[in-house]
Chain A
């Protein structure tokens, strides 16, 4: 029984990692209706930003955290400006967006490799390494943090989108950009806000990931699991992305623990196939357009 509970905890913590990564991605998707493949790159940059602010500039953790968030947010907006806006203005086919996003993600990963180098970096231990022990079970502190923070982010986003004026503007823009512009909403500004928030979320994911698992240029690859989790939970639904991620983490871990650890990654893909056959819109996706 303890084994099962411990695996469950393992699964929840991995799920939180996926969830944090998926949230920003899903937000952008639900508004812009396109997969920002560059999201993984921003996450990775977030991890590096945090790392350098702490080690090179010796900033205290909270300051470094906020500073890296700002940088990542700016990065996300810059990416939107350079790689996506021109396509949007031209009403380019959706294929072009994906290709452009792919280009950005390749660029981000490799510029780090070419300049700073591919070796991994370790965050200095800011939080205690000792796990929290509950009976026979062990919970890592950072894992707990990630879980709590992803729940918090989700809550914050729900609040932002469902209950604030800006949120309503975002929803309107997502629903119909032209009409909302007619209503006086500055669509361009909304898009910037959305990408910026997405970037900040990516940064949070990146920094926490870096603290727990080291910082390296290929962090973007783990994001693929988050994409799958987001599809699983329903692209376009942020709640779905979070729930999908947590579920993915748990199922993946339990399968790995009880069947075979070698095929762990296959679980993610198997889930993907399963959901595509049974319910292609995802767990929480709705057939009609639905945001957040």
Chain B
């Protein structure tokens, strides 16, 4: 959609932009093959996506070999941009990272919700979930809270009552559920079925139309960490435009993809060139405001620095923005 607008308005630096889309099917190997094709065959100047860290990490060697920059959208694993203390020259991202998200959730739970005991239910087969869990646990205990239960399941599981019963037993104030909306819907419903009354919390994998349609009552009064406030008036314009163009509500990834695309376009304009190497250099000094917040790319990390996390509460099936929370 962004590309279409851009082309309508005279294109980028005077040329029309073409979008070459590939689906990585959530698989790291597919991602590598796709990126090889994009860089070698299609000769793209920049890549938007992939969305998951599991794919963003393996493509870095291809990017370095072909010298083409990539902006990951929702890849939150720190290793996407930094490995062994060194930043990867061609990987960037437009979202905040797991450590930040997990810590934000923990901080909010302890400081604002005044939770003393927390339980965690996480997906052991998912790197995103493991990442958030690790940092939630760290921050929560550092602040003086206690993790009373830490149970796991595997992606694809549909029945969570065994671990949930154990969690119920431990009587937590808050249950952290850092995984994606499908499992969230199922597990939250089952939790309520079991009579669990604790407040539920989650990360940016939560927001989705299906979460509300499936588990509206179960997630009533829950909180989650998000990249932005959906109801922010600045965002509303984008949402309507999206809905008109595609007939559906925009999902989280859409917001970030929008920002990522604009980040790339901004870099091209500043580099005033289509040379991927120059674009990469320009990306390193990005300082713009996207619909997901301020995006200031740190040269050493290629991550947006100090990006605000938004805490959202689900009330009556609506996402109500609570506050911006920064990790101390």
Task: Specify whether A and B are partners.
Answer: yes
List residues of chain A with CB under 8 Å of any chain B CB: 3, 6-7, 10-11, 13-14, 17, 119-120, 122, 129, 131, 133, 136, 138, 140, 212-214, 216, 218, 221-222, 252-254, 256-257, 260-262, 264-265
Q: Give 5 nearest A-B pairs by CB, closest first.
A: A256-B162, A213-B158, A262-B152, A261-B163, A10-B161
Alpha-carbon distance A265/B151, docked complex (angstroms)? 14
In angstroms, how far is the closest chain A Cβ from the Cβ of B163? Answer: 4
* A221 and B156 contacting across the interface, CB-CB below 8 Å: yes
Does B318 belong to the interface (CB within 8 Å)?
no
B165 within 8 A of A: yes
Give a binary string over B153-197; 1 marks a CB under 8 Å from any A CB, 0 the rest: 110111101110110010000000000001001100100011100
- Answer whether A3 and B162 are a contact pair too, CB < 8 Å, given A119-B210, A264-B153: no
- Give every chain B residue within 8 A of A14 (Cβ-Cβ): 159, 161
25 contacts between A and B (CB under 8 A): A3-B165, A3-B166, A3-B169, A7-B162, A10-B161, A10-B162, A10-B165, A11-B162, A14-B161, A122-B213, A129-B189, A129-B193, A129-B217, A140-B193, A212-B158, A213-B186, A214-B182, A214-B214, A218-B156, A257-B163, A257-B165, A257-B166, A261-B151, A261-B166, A264-B154
CB interface residues, B 129-158, toward A, < 8 Å:
151-154, 156-158
On chain B, the number of residues with a Cβ less than 8 Å from chain A's Cβ atoms is 26
> Which residues of A lie under 8 Å from residue B189 when comparing CB positions?
129
Contacts of A252 in B (CB 8 A): 162
Provided the pairs A122-B213, A261-B163 are in contact, do residues A214 and B158 lie with their beta carbons within 8 angstroms?
Answer: yes
B282 neighbours in A (Cβ, 8 Å): none
Interface presence of B12 (CB below 8 A): no
Judged by a CB distance under 8 angstroms, whether B124 is at the interface is yes
Hey, which chain B residues are within 8 Å of A222, CB to CB? Answer: 156, 158
Residues of B within 8 A of A120 (CB): 182, 210
List residues of B (19-69) whose CB comes within 8 Å of A's CBs. none
A7 touches B154 (CB 8 A): no
Which residues of chain B are within 8 angstroms of A253 by Cβ–Cβ distance? Answer: 161-162
CB distance from A136 to the nearest CB of B (A): 8
B152 touches A261 (CB 8 A): yes
In the assembly, what is the distance between CA of A42 and CA of B193, in Å?
29
> Which residues from chain A contact B186 at a C-beta distance below 8 Å?
213-214
Instruction: Given A138-B193, A140-B193, A261-B152, decide whether A213 and B159 contact each other with a Cβ distance below 8 A.
Output: yes
Q: Which residues of B contact A (CB under 8 A)?
A: 124, 151-154, 156-159, 161-163, 165-166, 169, 182, 185-186, 189, 193-195, 210, 213-214, 217
Q: Are B162 and A261 in contact (CB under 8 A)?
A: yes
Instruction: Indicate if the CB atoms of A262 and B194 lie closer than 8 Å.
Output: no
Residue from the set A120, A213, A261, A262 with the largest chain B CB neighbour count within 10 Å: A261
Further contacts, 6 of them, CB under 8 A, given A119-B210, A131-B195, A216-B182: A6-B165, A138-B193, A138-B195, A140-B193, A214-B185, A264-B154
Contact partners of A3 in chain B: CB under 8 A: 165-166, 169
Query: What residues of B have a CB within 8 angstroms of the CB of A221 in the complex?
Result: 156
The one of A138, A212, A213, A264 that contacts B194, using a Cβ cutoff of 8 Å = A138
Shortest Cβ distance from B101 into chain A, in angstroms? 22
Indicate if the CB atoms of A257 and B182 lie closer than 8 Å: no
Q: Give the complex CA separation of A193 and B85 in angstroms.
A: 65
Instruction: Assess whether A257 is in contact with B162, with CB atoms less than 8 Å apart.
Output: yes
B154 touches A265 (CB 8 A): yes
Q: Do residues B158 and A264 form an inter-chain contact, with CB atoms below 8 A?
A: no
Q: List chain B residues, Cβ under 8 A from A260.
A: 152
Chain B residues whose C-beta falls within 8 Å of the C-beta of A129 in the assembled complex: 189, 193, 217
B contact residues around A218 at 8 Å (CB): 156
Chain B residues with Cβ below 8 Å from A136 are: 195
Q: Are A256 and B163 within 8 A (Cβ)?
A: yes
Expressed in whole angstroms, the Cα–Cα distance for A261 and B161 within the complex equals: 10
> Could you tell me the distance between the alpha carbons of A221 and B193 in the complex, rounded to whole angstroms?
25
Residues of B within 8 A of A10 (CB): 159, 161-162, 165
Known: A6-B165, A7-B162, A214-B214. A261 touches B193 (CB 8 A): no
In the complex, which residues of chain A have a beta carbon less than 8 angstroms from the beta carbon of B157?
A: 264
Q: How far apart are the CA atoms of A257 and B185 in the complex, in Å?
A: 21
Q: Which B residues are CB-close (under 8 A) to A216?
A: 182
Q: Say how far B20's CB is from chain A's closest CB, in angstroms.
A: 21
Assembly CA distance A279 to B182 (angstroms): 39
Contacting residues, chain A, for B153 (C-beta < 8 A): 261-262, 264
> How far, in angstroms, from A7 to B160 measured CA to CA in the complex?
11
User: Max chain A CB contacts within 10 Å: which of B162, B185, B195, B214?
Assistant: B162
> What is the distance, in angstroms, from B311's C-beta to the closest C-beta of chain A?
27
**C-alpha spacing A6/B186, complex, angstroms:** 18
Q: What chain A residues lie within 8 Å of B159 (beta carbons)? A: 10, 13-14, 17, 213
Closest to B164 in A: A10
Question: In the complex, what's the smallest C-beta–C-beta distance from A51 to chain B, in angstroms?
Answer: 13
Complex alpha-carbon distance, A48 and B189, angstroms = 21
Q: Are B194 and A6 in contact (CB under 8 A)?
A: yes
Chain B residue nearest to A6 (CB atoms) is B165
Closest to A258 in B: B166
In the complex, chain A residues whose CB is within 8 Å of the CB of B166? 3, 257, 261
